[in-house]
């Protein structure tokens, strides 16, 4: 397997920027970009499960992934209901999405560098 950090593609930042466009201008492709982000989430969980049997054994990573799942679901709801444009709550969730992915990328980089496995002493 390549690096865990590599499970988060560089293109993710572009997709998140398009969600901001959805907030500011009603960008019609924001739903496709959110779908891309949801696919990244799925592949991320699969990659972590492949390496560690369960990503849920890594507390900080697991908590961050659960938060990201919730953020994606809330954004999906607002998009489906046509409530993304101008919705300050949605903007805050997009900000949180960006921040949590940056934090997760850092966590995965640390796991890559340390070679840590579940059961290792901290």
- Residues 27-52 have pLDDT tens digits of 999 999 999 999 999 999 999 999 88
Q: Which two tokens stand for residue 96?
A: 């949180």
Q: Considering the domain boundaries, does residue 41 fall inside one? A: yes
Q: Considering the domain boundaries, does residue 2 fall inside one? A: no
CA–CA separation, 41 and 112 (whole Å): 18
Q: Considering the domain boundaries, does residue 119 fall inside one? A: no
Decide if 117 contacts 58 (C-beta within 8 A).
Answer: no
- In this predicted model, what pLDDT tens digit does every residue of 2-11 receive, in sequence order? 789 999 999 9
Q: Considering the domain boundaries, does residue 3 fall inside one? A: no
pTM exceeds 0.85: yes
Confidence of residue 122 (pLDDT cuts 50, 70, 90): low
Structural domains of the chain, count: 1
């Amino acid at each position: 397997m390549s690096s865990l950090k590599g499970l988060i593609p560089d293109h993710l930042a572009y997709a998140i920027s398009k969600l901001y466009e959805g907030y500011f201008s009603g960008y019609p492709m924001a739903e496709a970009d959110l779908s891309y982000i949801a696919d990244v989430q799925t592949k991320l969980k699969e990659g972590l499960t492949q390496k560690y049997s369960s990503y849920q054994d890594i507390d900080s990573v697991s908590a961050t992934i659960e938060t990201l799942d919730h953020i994606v679901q809330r954004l999906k709801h607002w998009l489906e209901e046509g409530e993304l444009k101008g919705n300050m709550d949605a903007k805050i969730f997009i900000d949180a999405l960006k921040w949590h992915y940056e934090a997760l990328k850092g966590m995965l980089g640390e796991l890559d560098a340390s070679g840590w496995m579940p059961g290792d002493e901290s």
